[in-house]
Structure 1
Amino acid sequence: MTSKMERLPQELVDLIYLYISHADRCALRLVSKQLYFLTLTNFGNTVFFKRVTTLGVASLNQLLQASGHAQFSGCVTLLDVKLLNYEDYDNLVKIDRVGIYPPPKRLPRVPQVKTGDIRQESKLLEYMRTQQDPTAVIHPLARALKRFRNLKTIRLRVNGLTLYGNLHILAEDEVYQSFMSACFRAVLEAIVRSGVKLQEFTLIKGNSVRPMSKSANLDYRAFALSFPLFQSLGNAFSGLKSLRLSIRTDPKTDSRSQGWEIGVKDFITTTSALETLTLCMDPIDCKPHFRATMMRSICRSVNLPMLKSLQLYGCAMDELDLVTLMKTHAPTLRRLLISDAELRSGTWRSILNLLKNDLGLEYLRFQYLQQIPQSIRWFAEDTKQTGKLIIDATKSGDKNYMNEKLSQAMSSLAAAIQAWEISGL
């Protein structure tokens, strides 16, 4: 005899499923075959929407097995490629040298790696650095991507914080950067070979960028891709809506070839349908002129006809370059977020004036900005923290709301700068 719940319509079962705990969901699915099948789709969408993998052989084999599941492979919409940091690989090598599994207690643990996978995972760093064509990574990853028929997002990140100097990332910096660059290129090759059509590609974990962000903060040299790969990415990224990049422009070596900065610009231009762009750079590196050179290349060359949202974090720019970027995208740009950025020439007041007169923004967020030689402090009436300026016109029905708030911000900024100049005399 069927229970009352088994006789409920699918829509009501779906609503009930959403409001119970994960443990209760698992228990519910074991009550009967009828409830098992009634909850199957929701179970797959809530539990299997994200798959996490490293690029080690064992982890990729598990990903391949998941991609071969007839029901749940279609539920995966996010693939999180998580790279271990340098300390993790160093610990794995130490364990592998001892050759005792599970390892003795005196050896450090790497919680992200199962005991049986230590040997294979420990070899990944050296393998990626020495192979021009790492087929052991590219081929299984491409096969898995092809099977995830509803995949929308690929995220490549590092296990640990990467902004503001993380010792676990910066140790043996050149070695680890070459490893990350090789992994980045391998993921791109797998995307091209699989034929998957993504909506988002990101190097940053989370929706917002802040000092505690976990990202794959790639050396600019990682974007020096071959011309055939750039061409192939143009097709693979033709439907991409969101691109979020984290870039290092200040490696230990100063030797760089002419045109070193154009790789990132060329990578961005492969995304013709892009609506959201996030650019993150390290705001505390000792050579901000490299960041400014990178931004000049992007601002003067990139034209994304569908761009709606732009976020810049840790960037160094000249006023003319930023103005060029905003004017190029004025017809479509509606959200602008700039944080921990440095204006090396010009004034933020001029930028505000441009926003007021030439852009139809709906949301504006400025925070912790610097205008050589001082930091900017906002004193608008509705600003609780003087380092931030937030204007959200979507919450107001007044069409002039944005312009009125920008006018107030310009007046407050002028007063703050005048006070600073007087105090400095």
Structure 2
Amino acid sequence: MQTKIGQLPQELVDLIVVHLSLQDRQALRLASKQLYALTFTTFSNTYFSRRVTTLGVPSLSRLVQLSAHPNLSGCVYLIDIKLLNYEDYGNLREIDRVGIYPPPKRLQRVPQVKIGDISQECKLLDYMRTHKDPKAVVHPLSRALKGFRNVKTIRFRVNGLTLYGNPYISAEDEVYQYFLSACFTAVLDAIIRSGVRLQEFTLIKNTTIRPLSKSANLDYSAFNLPIPFMFSLKSAFTFLKSLRLSIRTHHNGNSRVAGWEKGVAQVIATASSLEKLTICLQATDSKPWFRAAVIQSICRSVQLPMLKSLQLYGCVVDELDLIALIKTHTSSLRRLLISDTELRSGAWSSILNTFKEDLDLDLLRLQYLQQNTAPRVVRWFPDHIRNSSKLNIDARKIRDQYWMKERLSQAISSLAATAEEHEISEI
């Protein structure tokens, strides 16, 4: 017998079911075959569109099983690869050594790992460090990606790490950074082998970057990949529209091989169809010239004809290099966001003039900028005005490019006035 809710149109059923808890949805889906079919779309989109996984054997096995499901596999759009941090692996090893499940209260639990998975999950750190060809990770991950025919985004991040980490490298940090780099290469290898048509690859959790943003924060050496691997990656990134990178440049100090700074630019160049690019560097390191070298390589070598949105965070850049990057993408660039960035040579006022003359921007956001010329800290408005270090011009609200240029002229004049006030106060 058909129920009253079963007589409703699919659209109304979706509107009702979306407000139910997981337990209520499960009960409703078991009521009849008709309700099971009617609620399948909202249920699968809510609970299966994003899958979180580590690279441990148990987690990858579950991912492979889901990818083989005839109905649910097509609902997955985002694969969130969330690695444990170094402390987590230490806690897992201690629990595994004791061998009591559930573990005693004196041992620190790792909520992301099921009790039955601890023994195998804790071995991933050592496995990735000792195997140059980690087949136990690459093969199941690539097999899962093949099964997820609609996956569009892969997010690679770390549990609990932030952009503002300790700038000094200890032995443990070095071990963990090697592990992160090996996992990053394994994920790229799986993407290549699977033939998946990704539209977004990101190392950052959220769309907005803040000091406490969770990210993988990879060492620069992770991007120095072999040339044959780069060619394969170029084919795999053919359809990539968004790339968001979080990078540490201070690791190893001055012990670097020639051309170390070019790896990041070469990886970016493999995605020739990019429309959105985010480059996030760790803004607290004690050697900003390494950040400058990476950005200089990107500015001088990367050409992305379809680039619409560019976001720079924690960077160090020269005026001429930034202008060169902007002029290369004049015809396509519409959104520009620069935050916590230092201008090593030149002045931000000159760069704003370039923005006004050469770009037709829809959105310009500048915040917490510095420069070597006076005044060092850039303030767009007098100090007593709230958020004086932030400049946000959004022409999309009124759809008027002329208004954007007028606001840029006002910002340049305001910046010149604050600089003049700074010079007077110093005298």
- State the TM-score, normalized to the length of structure 2: 0.96
Q: Is the 8 A contact 2:50 2:77 kept in 1?
A: yes
Aligned residue in 1 for 2:156: 156
Change (3 A) 1:169 1:252: closer
> Any unmatched runs of 5+ in structure 2?
none
Rounded Cα–Cα distance in structure 1 between residues aligned with 2:235 and 2:347: 39
The alpha carbon displacement at 1:226 in A equals: 1.2
Rounded Cα–Cα distance in structure 1 between residues aligned with 2:335 and 2:382: 20
Q: Does 1:401 align with 2:415?
A: no
Aligned residue in 1 for 2:217: 217
Cα RMSD (Å) of the superposition?
A: 1.8
Rounded Cα–Cα distance in structure 1 between residues aligned with 2:405 and 2:381: 17
Q: Is the 8 A contact 2:169 2:251 kept in 1?
A: no
Letter matched to residue 371 of structure 1: Q
Change (3 A) 1:15 1:280: same
Q: Does 1:12 align with 2:4?
A: no
Rounded Cα–Cα distance in structure 1 between residues aligned with 2:3 and 2:168: 56
Q: Which moved further from structure 2: 239-248 or 97-106? A: 97-106
Rounded Cα–Cα distance in structure 1 between residues aligned with 2:169 and 2:237: 29
Aligned residue in 1 for 2:234: 234
Query: Residue 375 of structure 1: SS of its match in structure 2?
Result: coil
Aligned residue in 2 for 1:28: 28
Match of 1:420 among 396, 408, 422: 422
Rounded Cα–Cα distance in structure 2 between residues aligned with 1:49 and 1:168: 39
Q: Does 1:379 align with 2:381?
A: yes
> Any unmatched runs of 5+ in structure 1?
none
Query: Residue 332 of structure 2: SS of its match in structure 1?
Result: coil
Query: Residue 401 of structure 2: SS of its match in structure 1?
Result: coil
The alpha carbon displacement at 1:380 in A equals: 8.1
1:320-369 CA-partner distances (Å, limit 9, x unpaired): 00000000001000000000000000000011101111100000000000
Aligned residue in 2 for 1:334: 334
Change (3 A) 1:180 1:361: same
Q: Does 1:352 align with 2:360?
A: no
The alpha carbon displacement at 1:66 in A equals: 1.3
Change (3 A) 1:402 1:357: same
Q: Is the 8 A contact 2:361 2:401 kept in 1?
A: no
The alpha carbon displacement at 1:173 in A equals: 1.1
Q: Is the 8 A contact 1:153 1:198 kept in 2?
A: yes
The alpha carbon displacement at 1:144 in A equals: 0.5
Aligned residue in 2 for 1:74: 74
Query: Residue 293 of structure 2: SS of its match in structure 1?
Result: helix
Rounded Cα–Cα distance in structure 2 between residues aligned with 1:2 and 1:47: 27
Change (3 A) 1:380 1:28: farther
Aligned residue in 2 for 1:122: 122
Letter matched to residue 37 of structure 1: A
1:167-204 CA-partner distances (Å, limit 9, x unpaired): 99977111010000000000000000111110000000
Aligned residue in 1 for 2:184: 184
Query: Residue 88 of structure 2: SS of its match in structure 1?
Result: helix
Q: How does 1:17-416 map to 2 (within 5 A)?
A: 17-165=17-165, 172-372=172-372, 374-379=376-381, 384-416=386-418
Change (3 A) 1:322 1:199: same
Rounded Cα–Cα distance in structure 2 between residues aligned with 1:399 and 1:20: 45
Change (3 A) 1:69 1:133: same
Rounded Cα–Cα distance in structure 2 between residues aligned with 1:22 and 1:416: 56
Q: Is the 8 A contact 2:85 2:161 kept in 1?
A: no
Q: Is the 8 A contact 1:265 1:301 kept in 2?
A: yes
Rounded Cα–Cα distance in structure 1 between residues aligned with 2:365 and 2:399: 19
1:238-267 CA-partner distances (Å, limit 9, x unpaired): 000000000111014320011001111110
Rounded Cα–Cα distance in structure 2 between residues aligned with 1:397 and 1:88: 49
Rounded Cα–Cα distance in structure 2 between residues aligned with 1:115 and 1:86: 18
Change (3 A) 1:170 1:204: farther
